Structure formats: structure tokens, C-alpha cells
Amino acid sequence: MVAPRVYEALSQPVVGHLDPFFFEISDQVRRLIGHVYSTENDFNLAISGTGSAGMEAAVSNFAEPGRKFALLTNGFFADRIGEMARRQGAEVVRLAKPWGEPFDPQEAREFIRRERPRVAAFVQAETSTGMFNQAKAICEAAREVDALTIADCVTSLGAMPVLVDDNGIDVAYSCTQKGLSCPPGLAPMTVSPRALERLKARPAPPPSWYLDLLLLDTYYVGRKYHHTASATLLYALREGLALAAEEGLENRWERHRRNHLAFVAGIEAMGLRMHVPEGHRLWTLNTPRVPEGVSDALARQYLLEKRGIEIAGGFGPLAGKVFRIGLMGHGSTGKNVLLVLEGLESALRDQGYEPAGDGRAAAEKALAVSA
């Protein structure tokens, strides 16, 4: 859901892509990107393009042809990173887990120590499964073998503790349409000084001209034309980032955590189970399992048509097995938790499923306790 202040920002007059005001806003955005990622990195920017453009920028600048690229994958989006790295000519080596199963930190460490890659990549918030992957062990092991780390933070930024510096992540990218409550179209990104050194020492420039980070730096910092970036999307992102900073990152994380826990309390009271084990769940994207005998497609259709609520279904190995319910950014509220639980209960009853208990009451109780 787009925040009302972001909608207002979207209606402001468009200036040129080399206008001094454009660079004033882009400088603010770069500073605020650093804040929301909890990093001291100077090299922050918003790539023109969606989250996948952020992913491609990370991969095309840091994957190297013929060199090892280690992928820790337990979901759809990590596999997309692997596909991009393969297309860059990197030798992709994988540590794969079933969708929604956490990595054992020791196993992750041993994998990286054994493979000694140039880059190790993982998805911090895997939207295909609802799982939060811990960065620390991966980043520590990568440093031991002088590998860079790439973290996909598309569904964590602005909603969960990404903690780039504390975790030692070198390259992180995200999107604007999730935790930051903006429309899609930009990919906020941050790069560590260590990664920047590696980039400058590349024997050949990255194959992608449009996503070449050093060229983009000559635009946003050097003020020289590179492409015609959208002032409108930059206004929106500035507003979305300012909203996060004004709320306070810790308060924002806590809001997401509280609403997620209330949602889970409601789901469990209804007799449903969460797909991801406790302690590894995203606070932004919830994946209750579809109960036996229920069609997830019919339930989603019911919610959309009768309640005006859009939720997603599982795909790949989780097709028909989980619901994917987003409660993020401006949309993560106690009221929305209750609305979606109530709607889901009706949708399930409509298919003859009798909930074990009152989901709404359990969520209300959880919200009251944490208030």
C-alpha cells in the first residue's frame, strides 16, 4: 500500500534529470538510503528499475566470468540471482535447501570455506516462502575467504532489521514497493568500500552499460548525464524514506513484528499452521499453510471479490500449499491484521472449513498485550 504522503509527493512538478533540484533530492535520497540500510557506506543510490534491476546491478557488477559465485538458495528469488550470475558467465555453486527451510549457520560457513568463491549471494527476505535468512554466518565466512556478499533485501528494507554494517553485507539491494510503501520503479542499493575497491579493480567493465555502478556514480555524484532518471519516482522514494526515518527504524521494525505476531496468533487460533518455523519468519510476508480440502485459488478469489483484499498464493513447490499475505510498510496495521483474518475465516467457511477457534479474538488479544 502506498502511503498518503507518497501519493502527494507523486503529484509534484517534474524537473529535468540534470536540474539542481533533482540532485538536491537525489542527495537526500542517497543519505536516507544509507540510514534505512543502517550503514555508513557512502555509495548509496536508487537504480532506475524495479527490484530485479537492483538484483541485476548487484550481479552484473560483482559476478566475474569464469569465477566462482556461491549461491545460498531456499526459494524462488535466490534462484533468479543464480540465473543472472550464470548469464554473466560466472561459475555458480549452490547450497540449496527446500523452499522455506533455514540454512544451518555452520553448514553455510563450511560451504563458503570449502568453495572459496569471489562472491556469496543470498536472499535475506525470501518472498516466495516467507523466510528470513540470517546474514551473519554467511558474511563472516565470506570475509574469511575474501569473498564479497550480496544480499537481496527486497522484502526486508524499511520493515525488518537489514543491518548492513552489523552483518557485514557488502552489496544490498531492494525495491520501493514493499516496506517503503512507494510505487514500484526504483531499486535502493548500497555498496561497501571493500566492494567498491573490487569493482574498480575489475579487469573489464561489467557487461551491463545501463547498470554499471561506476558510470551511475558519474551521474548522481559527478552530475553528468547518464540516463533520464524519473524525478517523480525520486520524490516518492524521498518521502517513503523520510516516513521511515521519522517513525524511527526500531519503532517501524517493532510495529511490523507486533502485527505479524498478532496475525500468527489469529492463524493458529483458527487451527492453521505457518509454513516457516518460528524464529525464521518474515514480519512482512506471512505464509500460513492452506488447510486440507481448501482451494487457495477459490479463497483468494473470495477475498478479492467479497472483501476487496488481495493476497497471493504459493508457487513452484508451494503452489496450492500456502497463502502469501503481505502486511508491510503503510499496510502493516492492527486493523489490517483483523480485516484479513476475518476475511480469511469467511473464505474458509465458504469452502466448508470449520476454524478451530476465533482468529480475530486471538489477534485482538495479542495486539492488546503488546500495545
Ligand X SMILES: Cc1ncc(COP(=O)(O)O)c(C=O)c1O
Positions in 297-356 near ligand X (CB under 6 A): none
- Binding ligand X (rule: CB under 6 A), the pick from 36, 57, 150, 175 is 175
50 touching ligand X, by CB under 6 A: yes
How far apart are CB 77 and ligand X at their closest, in Å? 4
Residue number, nearest CB to ligand X:
51
230 touching ligand X, by CB under 6 A: no
| Full 3-state SS string of the chain | CCCHHHHHHHCCCCCCCCCHHHHHHHHHHHHHHHHHCCCCCCEEEEEECCHHHHHHHHHHHHCCCCCEEEEEECCHHHHHHHHHHHHCCCEEEEEECCCCCCCCHHHHHHHHHHHCCCEEEEECEECCCCEECCCHHHHHHHHHCCCEEEEECCCCCCCCCCCHHHHCCCEEECCCCCCCCCCCCEEEEEECHHHHHHHHCCCCCCCCCCCCHHHHHHHHCCCCCCCCCCHHHHHHHHHHHHHHHHHCHHHHHHHHHHHHHHHHHHHHHCCCCECCCCCCECCCEECEECCCCCCHHHHHHHHHHHHCCCCEECCHHHCCCEEEEECCHHHCCHHHHHHHHHHHHHHHHHCCCCCCCCHHHHHHHHHHHHC
Question: Closer CB to ligand X, residue 50 or residue 295?
Answer: 50
How far apart are CB 76 and ligand X at their closest, in Å? 8
Question: Closer CB to ligand X, residue 157 or residue 195?
Answer: 157
- Binding ligand X (rule: CB under 6 A), the pick from 28, 38, 52, 346 is 52
- Binding ligand X (rule: CB under 6 A), the pick from 51, 82, 158, 334 is 51
How far apart are CB 185 and ligand X at their closest, in Å? 9
Instruction: From 49-57, 65-73, 199-207, 315-323, give the range in contact with ligand X by CB under 6 A.
Output: 49-57
How far apart are CB 161 and ligand X at their closest, in Å? 16
208 touching ligand X, by CB under 6 A: no
How far apart are CB 46 and ligand X at their closest, in Å? 13
Residues that bind ligand X (CB under 6 A): 50-52, 55, 77, 123, 127, 152, 154-155, 175, 184
